[in-house]
Chain A
Amino acid sequence: MNSRIESFETLLSRCRLRNPLPADLRARAVRSRKNAKEIFQKAGTYSLMLWLTFRLFMLLRDFGIKATFLQVKVLIGIIAVNAVVTAPAGGYYAVKYIKAMIEPQTEDAGSMPLTPDGVLKDEQAEKTAPASAVYDVGLGGFTGNSVNIGRVERALYSGLVEILGKDRAVYLGSGNRNRVKKIVTGTVQKFGDKYLITAKVVDVETSKVLSVISEKSDETGIDAVCGKIAGKLAESFKKITSYK
């Protein structure tokens, strides 16, 4: 973020015009808006078509596509037609896509079923585990002003898996958020050419922040610093839970 933006936001803070919400609350607010099903049901206008259209409408917005409701309705129709008339494989993926759209979302559902790099990752992370598997920690939802957020998440996740094992750590996503005991989330802030990576451990049941770890780095040292943070996170888990 450039210096004049930082100065402007600092000024807003001093004037009490800036009241940033914690990252988990922001994420909750962004996530909760996807659940308008109850509103449509209470208003008596709910239908599967309306719900599918709404979900796809919101999904497209997540990808930076501001389609109109009518355009999304047309798209749903095209997907439905493809599911019927195309080859079984094509139809299978269309049905799978729609099924992912209408998959029930729990109160604490994580990110959208389909993400730029998240669908297969979620599936692969879980395909060796039974559906009832419970993970000690789920990682995801990092925010910030840096383009390296994805890189930080991947590095932290790799570090945690290396230390804790694949059966204990998982990438947060649709369907697994209610199967983790602790969540690791945080921020990646860029100040000039330096990065401040902050990771916090949140208890899913109580929503309490159990520990916070911050490290600074330059661009070349991000992976090493994430490894260090992952090590410290693992240590903090040992103190919080009864680990072997």
Chain B
Amino acid sequence: MADKPKSREERFTGIYAEYYPLVYNAVYSKVGNRHDADDICQEVFLITYEKLDNVYSVRNWLYSTLKNAVLRYYERNKRPVEDIEKVFDDIGLTYINGFKDIRIIITDAIEKLDFSEEERLILEYIAFYGYSYAETGKIMGLTKRQVGYKYVNIVDRILEKLKEQGIENIEDIL
């Protein structure tokens, strides 16, 4: 979020609108229960609202807050986890034989392209989590066409970057 909002409510509602499904996805993948995922997401965003003045990187803040919230959930449900980092290690990054190097190249390309936060969210929702253009539009406050246009541009930029790193045709490696 490049522009500085004027009030706590303004800043919070923007974060809540755009990041809630992302947090929900991450939490649900760890707890496996919709109602518990709802409760944990409420907890995460309540903490975020109360400590909004301490939030500088929204993404980092939400990620660390949700990890701690999931850890508390595990402890309440007698599922102690010594190292919560290991529980979250596999989000989208599970090692697959033969594709580990490609995965590193893709994530490296995405990092180097320095997408805006809006572009990153669009990429994550559609490419990583399978949200439709319409669903992503509702989250981001964009029309379906706008989302589609931006997404295609994002993917084209990634594919160009992959070409620079020697992957001319991704069909060849599928």
Contacts and interface: CB of A to CB of B under 8 A. Distances in A.
Contact of B141 (A14, A15, A20, A65): A65
Contact of B170 (A7, A26, A28): A7
Given A33-B17, A33-B21, A4 B159 contact: yes
Q: Size band of the A side of the interface? A: 35 or more
B170 A43 contact: no
Given A19-B128, A33-B20, A39-B49, A68 B5 contact: yes
Interface in A23-73: 25-30, 32-33, 36, 38-40, 42-43, 45, 50, 53-54, 57-58, 60-70
Contacts of B129: 18-21, 26
Given A10-B174, A69-B5, A144 B103 contact: no
Contact of A30 (B34, B96, B138): B138
A30 B42 CA distance: 14
A11 B96 contact: no
A145 interface: yes
A145 B132 contact: yes
A38 B135 contact: no
Contacts of A14: 96, 99, 102, 174
A107 B42 CA distance: 13
Contact of A39 (B24, B29, B42): B42
A62 B144 CA distance: 10
A143 B134 contact: yes
Contacts of A28: 24, 34
Contact of A17 (B16, B29, B92): B92
24 contacts: A7-B171, A8-B127, A8-B159, A11-B170, A12-B128, A14-B174, A16-B103, A19-B91, A21-B25, A21-B28, A25-B34, A26-B130, A27-B135, A28-B24, A30-B138, A36-B16, A39-B45, A45-B9, A60-B141, A61-B139, A66-B140, A68-B10, A143-B135, A144-B132
Interface of A: 2, 4-5, 7-12, 14-21, 25-30, 32-33, 36, 38-40, 42-43, 45, 50, 53-54, 57-58, 60-70, 107, 143-145, 149, 207
Given A29-B21, A143-B132, 9 more contacts: A8-B127, A11-B174, A19-B129, A38-B42, A39-B46, A64-B146, A70-B7, A70-B10, A145-B132
Interface of B: 5-7, 9-10, 13-14, 16-17, 20-21, 24-25, 28-29, 34, 38, 41-42, 45-46, 49-50, 91-96, 99, 102-103, 106-107, 127-135, 137-144, 146, 151-152, 155-156, 158-159, 170-171, 173-174
